[in-house]
């Protein structure tokens, strides 16, 4: 497979970009011609951002798995689709060819069909990074079931909320997951989650860790037993079901500025085209190359750049079960060496964490196969960028800094590896089809270069969020109502003298902790569930490794002698309600919170105090009790 739409020079980028803006429909129609359709579209795009309504390739029928699997069988049947590296390097790795993946996806699709899964049913997938996670995801897409993958680090309660919100009818899980030296008992977390109200008919359980599990009669089914039944039926063929272009492919929950995570909805045709187009262009993938994205499939990065982007392009994608620091901090470099990885895509937080181990973990690791490096998830600081460039890329690999979001489906602002210019800590230029603009505090567009403002997008692209599941109004409110006729990203952004974009971070109450998106309101809700907590306020502060750390100001209902055990309890509460990723790094017990007369917490002040930047607190005269500020500063000093 080659990619006629792969941009190969900076000149070509400029020409393609121009074309994509002048005639977007014609531009995307031509790209869409390179996919396999069961029926072609009637219209390329119908849209308005008011409702919002965005329909790409309306009237078309298509199945993304036909594009990820079937269409490669003539030429790539025996090439590796997935290389799976286990948590424990002593365990055997697995190579799954396109032919085998095609077979296994149908097998599991049969399991789903045998157990009553229908097109449109929501299937919640809560597994570790095993090949069966990709297989289950693709099997859903094969039969038109909507997958909702939940990251293995979320707690029972967080899962229960997501199962309820999506009204999931089925769950796919593992007995346990291996992460470094730890074993996480996934099935028991699901059991706990399913004690809340739900309409789940079956839980499919893959054996991975042999962690003891309780199987509930009639509800719980072993993956292997169900596969055996399919084998006894003679492994019937499961044709790729005809999906309407705008039928939902998946839901993925993400945090916003309210307490309740929202189910971002992506649909079939547009997402497919966007994941593929961005994969091929940003990473400049060449046939035969090995692509290693270190994300978890529980996040959008894994959806788009482990599964759908690479597989739709007939690429070889590496899936790693473990963590970068186990058994030692050289694990990523081992994997690159072992499989001669060409493209390596990770998060700045991982780079910073690995930097702290020095250069020894790279000793005797051959990284010379690398051609392209990438980062995603948060702004990359220059120091980390240069370390990555020098020590991993040997100053020989372009680094793509890809800015995008769960809601955008794929990379939006990024250099194209080796094709368009890069600049440390800049995401650089928009991809074709993307029309970024900066908006000032009065809602007016800021033109020209050397300016900054709130980042918005003017025109739909194929991978844009279509809705928030079951609550379209929330989608409108969150993304399309702040500024008329614009998609609002929630990010602040600078455009330099050369027109290059640099993302400066969230401007809403969303934190980015180790590349994970966490809403301050969610953490506050969790903290407030502790019986001794009256009120809390959570802000982010700069953290050397995580990018942002979580700082919680907490008002208790009484004085406590043993504060350290109380801290442990509160942290445990947060772990139970959301998951360990949302645990505050610092807790400060305070007598009050700085509020305006209208009762609004002044987070700006809390952020400054958390950062230790107290000379520059700005105007505090509108506070109900300005003297509180000095008390908080004092408490923080003693902390």
Helices 131-143, 98-114: inter-axial angle, 10-degree rounding: 60
20/406 with CB nearer ligand WT7: 406
16/254 with CB nearer ligand WT7: 254
Distances from the Cα of 61 to the Cα of 64, 270, 286, 357, angstroms: 10, 12, 28, 51
74/382 with CB nearer ligand WT7: 382
# binding residues, ligand WT7 (CB under 6 A): 21
In 3D, which of 418, 392, 411 has the Cα closest to residue 335? 392
Min separation Cβ 178 and ligand WT7, Å = 24
- Nearest-10 Cα torsion for 37, 41, 45, 47: -110
Give the DSSP per-residue string, 28-93: HHHHHTTS--SB--SEEEEEETTTTEEEEEET-EE-HHHHHTGGGHHHHTTSEEEEEE-SSTTSPP
Min separation Cβ 425 and ligand WT7, Å = 8
Q: Which of 293, 503, 577, 590 binds ligand WT7 (CB under 6 A)?
A: 503
Please identify, among the stretches 75-83, 237-245, 399-407, 572-580, the one whose residues bind ligand WT7 according to the rule CB under 6 A: 399-407
Tokens (6 digits) for 89: 């390097």
Min separation Cβ 278 and ligand WT7, Å = 11
Min separation Cβ 239 and ligand WT7, Å = 33
- The yes or no reply on residue 406 touching ligand WT7 (CB under 6 A) is yes
331/506 with CB nearer ligand WT7: 506
Reported residue count of the chain is: 639
In 3D, which of 132, 145, 377, 376 has the Cα closest to residue 251? 145
Please identify, among the stretches 169-177, 349-357, 387-395, 401-409, the one whose residues bind ligand WT7 according to the rule CB under 6 A: 401-409
Please identify, among the stretches 328-336, 370-378, 382-390, 555-563, the one whose residues bind ligand WT7 according to the rule CB under 6 A: 370-378
Please identify, among the stretches 316-324, 363-371, 403-411, 459-467, the one whose residues bind ligand WT7 according to the rule CB under 6 A: 403-411
**Contact string (CB under 6 A) for ligand WT7, positions 96-135, x = contact:** ----------------------------------------
Please identify, among the stretches 26-34, 231-239, 398-406, 443-451, the one whose residues bind ligand WT7 according to the rule CB under 6 A: 398-406
- The yes or no reply on residue 220 touching ligand WT7 (CB under 6 A) is no
- The yes or no reply on residue 579 touching ligand WT7 (CB under 6 A) is no
Residue 181 backbone phi and psi in degrees, to 5: -80, -5
For residue 554, give the H/E element and its range. Answer: strand 547-556
Please identify, among the stretches 199-207, 220-228, 395-403, 443-451, the one whose residues bind ligand WT7 according to the rule CB under 6 A: 395-403
Q: Which of residues 235-294 bind ligand WT7 (CB under 6 A)?
A: 254
Give the DSSP per-residue string, 195-231: TSS----EEEEE-SS-------TTTEEEHHHHHHHHH
- The yes or no reply on residue 467 touching ligand WT7 (CB under 6 A) is no
Q: Are 306 and 295 in contact (CB under 8 A)?
A: yes
The rounded distance, in Å, linking the Cα atoms of 169 and 163 is 8
Tokens (6 digits) for 487: 């998609």
- The yes or no reply on residue 66 touching ligand WT7 (CB under 6 A) is no
- The yes or no reply on residue 479 touching ligand WT7 (CB under 6 A) is no
Residue carrying the six token digits 């490794």: 545
378/522 with CB nearer ligand WT7: 378
The rounded distance, in Å, linking the Cα atoms of 552 and 584 is 6
- Is the N-terminal amide bond of 284 cis, ω within 30° of 0? no
Q: Are 110 and 230 in contact (CB under 8 A)?
A: yes
Q: Which of residues 298-337 bind ligand WT7 (CB under 6 A)?
A: 300-301
292/403 with CB nearer ligand WT7: 403
- Is the N-terminal amide bond of 488 cis, ω within 30° of 0? no
Min separation Cβ 87 and ligand WT7, Å = 23
Residue carrying the six token digits 């750049």: 305
| CB contact set of 182 (below 8 Å; sequence gap of 6+) | none
Min separation Cβ 196 and ligand WT7, Å = 25
Q: Which of 310, 324, 379, 594 binds ligand WT7 (CB under 6 A)?
A: 379
- Beta bridge mates, 445: 439
- The yes or no reply on residue 142 touching ligand WT7 (CB under 6 A) is no
| CB contact set of 110 (below 8 Å; sequence gap of 6+) | 230, 233, 235, 236, 238
Min separation Cβ 348 and ligand WT7, Å = 8
Q: Which of 157, 512, 520, 573 binds ligand WT7 (CB under 6 A)?
A: 512
Min separation Cβ 552 and ligand WT7, Å = 21
Distances from the Cα of 118 to the Cα of 140, 241, 276, 524, angstroms: 9, 11, 27, 38
The rounded distance, in Å, linking the Cα atoms of 24 and 14 is 14
144/302 with CB nearer ligand WT7: 302
Q: Are 97 and 81 in contact (CB under 8 A)?
A: yes
- The yes or no reply on residue 373 touching ligand WT7 (CB under 6 A) is no
Min separation Cβ 489 and ligand WT7, Å = 6
The rounded distance, in Å, linking the Cα atoms of 136 and 133 is 5
Min separation Cβ 254 and ligand WT7, Å = 5
Q: Which of 517, 530, 583, 603 binds ligand WT7 (CB under 6 A)?
A: 517
| CB contact set of 629 (below 8 Å; sequence gap of 6+) | 594, 605, 609, 617, 620, 623
- The yes or no reply on residue 137 touching ligand WT7 (CB under 6 A) is no
410/594 with CB nearer ligand WT7: 410
- Helix (H/G/I), strand (E/B), else coil: 332: helix
Sign of CA dihedral 400, 406, 410, 414: negative
Min separation Cβ 109 and ligand WT7, Å = 28
**Which residues contribute to the site for ligand WT7 (CB under 6 A)?**
254, 300-301, 376-379, 401-406, 427, 489-491, 503, 506, 512, 517
């Amino acid at each position: 497979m080659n990619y006629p739409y792969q941009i190969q020079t900076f000149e070509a980028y400029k020409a393609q970009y121009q074309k994509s803006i002048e005639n977007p429909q014609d531009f995307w129609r031509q790209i869409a011609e390179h996919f396999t359709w069961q029926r072609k579209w009637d219209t390329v795009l119908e849209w308005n951002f008011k409702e919002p309504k965005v329909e790409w390739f309306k009237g078309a029928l298509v199945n993304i798995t036909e594009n990820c699997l079937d269409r490669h069988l003539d030429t790539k049947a025996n090439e590796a689709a997935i290389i799976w590296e286990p948590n424990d390097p002593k365990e055997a790795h697995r190579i799954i060819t396109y032919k085998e993946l095609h077979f296994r996806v149908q097998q599991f699709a049969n399991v789903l069909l045998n157990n009553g899964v229908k097109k449109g049913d929501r299937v919640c997938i809560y597994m570790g990074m095993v090949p069966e996670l990709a297989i289950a995801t693709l099997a859903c897409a094969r039969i038109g079931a909507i997958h909702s993958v939940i990251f293995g680090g979320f707690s029972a309660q967080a899962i229960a909320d997501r199962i309820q919100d999506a009204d999931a009818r089925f769950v796919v899980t593992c007995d346990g997951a291996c992460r470094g030296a730890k074993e996480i008992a996934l099935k028991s977390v699901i059991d706990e989650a399913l004690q809340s109200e739900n309409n789940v008919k079956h839980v499919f359980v893959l054996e991975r860790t042999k962690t003891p599990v309780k199987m509930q009669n009639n509800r719980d089914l072993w993956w292997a037993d169900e596969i055996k039944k399919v084998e006894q039926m003679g492994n019937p063929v499961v044709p790729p079901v005809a999906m309407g272009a705008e039928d939902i492919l998946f839901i993925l929950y993400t945090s916003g500025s309210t307490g309740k995570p929202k189910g971002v909805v992506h649909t079939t045709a547009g997402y497919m085209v966007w994941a593929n187009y961005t994969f091929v262009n940003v990473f400049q993938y060449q046939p035969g190359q090995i692509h290693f994205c270190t994300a978890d499939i529980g996040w959008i990065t894994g959806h788009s750049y482990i599964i759908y982007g690479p597989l739709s392009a007939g690429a070889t994608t590496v899936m790693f079960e473990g963590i970068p620091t186990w058994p030692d901090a050289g694990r990523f470099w081992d994997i690159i060496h072992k499989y001669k990885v060409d493209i390596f895509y990770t998060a700045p937080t991982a780079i910073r964490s690995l930097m702290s181990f020095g250069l020894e973990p790279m000793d005797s690791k051959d990284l010379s196969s690398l051609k392209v490096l990438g980062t995603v998830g948060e702004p990359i600081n220059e120091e980390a960028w240069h370390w990555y460039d020098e020590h991993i890329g040997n100053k020989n690999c372009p680094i793509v800094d890809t800015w995008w979001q769960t809601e955008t489906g794929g990379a939006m602002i990024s250099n194209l590896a080796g094709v368009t210019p890069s600049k440390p800590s800049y995401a650089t230029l928009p991809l074709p089809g993307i029309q970024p603009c900066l908006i000032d505090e009065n809602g007016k567009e800021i033109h020209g270069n050397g300016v900054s403002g709130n980042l918005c997008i003017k025109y739909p692209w194929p991978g844009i969020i279509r809705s928030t599941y079951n609550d379209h109004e929330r989608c409108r409110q969150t993304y399309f109502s702040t500024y008329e006729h614009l998609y609002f990203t929630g990010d602040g952004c600078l455009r330099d003298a050369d027109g290059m974009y640099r993302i400066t971070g969230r401007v809403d109450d969303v934190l980015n902790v180790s590349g994970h998106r966490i809403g301050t309101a969610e953490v506050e809700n969790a903290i407030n569930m502790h019986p001794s907590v009256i009120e809390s306020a959570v802000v982010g502060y700069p953290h050397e490794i995580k990018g942002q750390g979580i700082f919680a100001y907490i008002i208790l209902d009484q004085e406590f002698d043993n504060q350290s055990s109380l801290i442990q309890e509160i942290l445990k509460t947060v772990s139970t309600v959301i998951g360990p990723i949302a645990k505050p790094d610092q807790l400060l017990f305070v007598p009050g919170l700085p509020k305006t007369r209208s009762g609004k917490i002044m987070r700006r002040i809390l952020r400054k105090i958390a950062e230790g930047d107290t000379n520059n607190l700005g105007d505090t005269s509108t506070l109900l009790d300005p003297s509180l500020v000095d008390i908080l500063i004092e408490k923080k000093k003693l902390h």
